[in-house]
Amino acid sequence: MNSIVVRFVCLLGGTAAAANIFLLISNIPAFHRLARVEGLYGSWRVTFNAAMYDRAEYLYELGTDYVLADTVASSATEGRDEIASLEVVLERADQAVEYLTESVRLDPADAYNWSALAWAHSLQGDLPAARAAMTNSWERAPYNMALSTTRLQFAELLLESESYFLEAPITPVEYMGMERDLCVAFLRNDNALEAILEISPGLSENLEPHELKCNGLS
């Protein structure tokens, strides 16, 4: 650890206080190398600099990189016209689950972490775990505009899989989460809902929102 940080801890006085702050700092990637892990692109650093001072956010950023790897063309991933092998997809999904599971352990109230973990589990083919994680996201941020689009994409996955792959039927809590996200999209008034329903026919067939249902949110 940086000697300046160690001296700072010592100046605080009191063994217990110093020990607590030392433990806190040792879990911050920006300060301690043992708190760092390698990401998809071969570096411990993340694009969002503030995340290097919050380990839960740091692991969320790294885990999300693995979830989105197939959508990014780079030297660490496939080219624009290439598709990752199943083995590579599963390896990335496993790494994403590892990082994001630790992220939600550190910050279980963060709906973004749970949503990303849901997608990581879905890439593994573990729909029960994915559903449990997304339910946590819906419950922690039921009316979140930023999350509504990605959660509705997950909802479409569930609706398409219901007849063939789901071990248990879609629950009332899941339906409520989907409907709330649709209402959020409906109230944006920027054609977002139309675009979502156009590419997600399952949503339009099962959860078509209407003005009266969503008016209470405006």
Q: What is the pLDDT of residues 107-118, one digit of tens each?
A: 999 999 999 999
Contact predicate 60/120, CB 8 Å? no
Does the residue 135 lie in any domain? Answer: no
pLDDT surpasses 70 at 204? no
Q: What is the pLDDT of residues 157-175, one digit of tens each?
A: 888 887 667 788 899 999 9
pLDDT of the residue at 10: 53
Q: Are 41 and 19 found together in one domain? A: no
Read off the pTM: 0.81
Q: Are 41 and 28 found together in one domain? A: no
Q: Are 50 and 21 found together in one domain? A: no
pLDDT of the residue at 212: 47
Does the residue 189 lie in any domain? Answer: yes
Q: Are 9 and 49 found together in one domain? A: no
Does the residue 73 lie in any domain? Answer: yes
pLDDT surpasses 60 at 6? no
Q: Are 41 and 113 found together in one domain? A: yes
Q: Are 45 and 30 found together in one domain? A: no
Q: Report how many domains make up the chain.
A: 3
The dihedral formed by the CA atoms of 91, 109, 129 and 186, expressed in degrees to the nearest 10: -100
Q: Are 26 and 53 found together in one domain? A: no
Does the residue 183 lie in any domain? Answer: yes
- What percent of the chain is modeled with pLDDT above 70? 77
Q: Which residues of 39-78 are buried (b: 16+ CB within 10 A; e: fewer)?
A: bbbeeebbeeeebbebbbbbbbbbbbbbbebbeeeeeebe
Q: Are 46 and 107 found together in one domain? A: yes
pLDDT of the residue at 195: 73
Q: Per mean pLDDT, which range of 42-56, 154-168, 179-193 is the poorest?
A: 179-193
> Higher confidence at residue 68 or residue 76?
68
Mean pLDDT over all residues of the chain? 82
Q: Are 10 and 63 found together in one domain? A: no
> Higher confidence at residue 36 or residue 144?
144
pLDDT of the residue at 194: 74
pLDDT of the residue at 33: 83
Domain that holds residue 27: 1-35
> Higher confidence at residue 29 or residue 203?
29
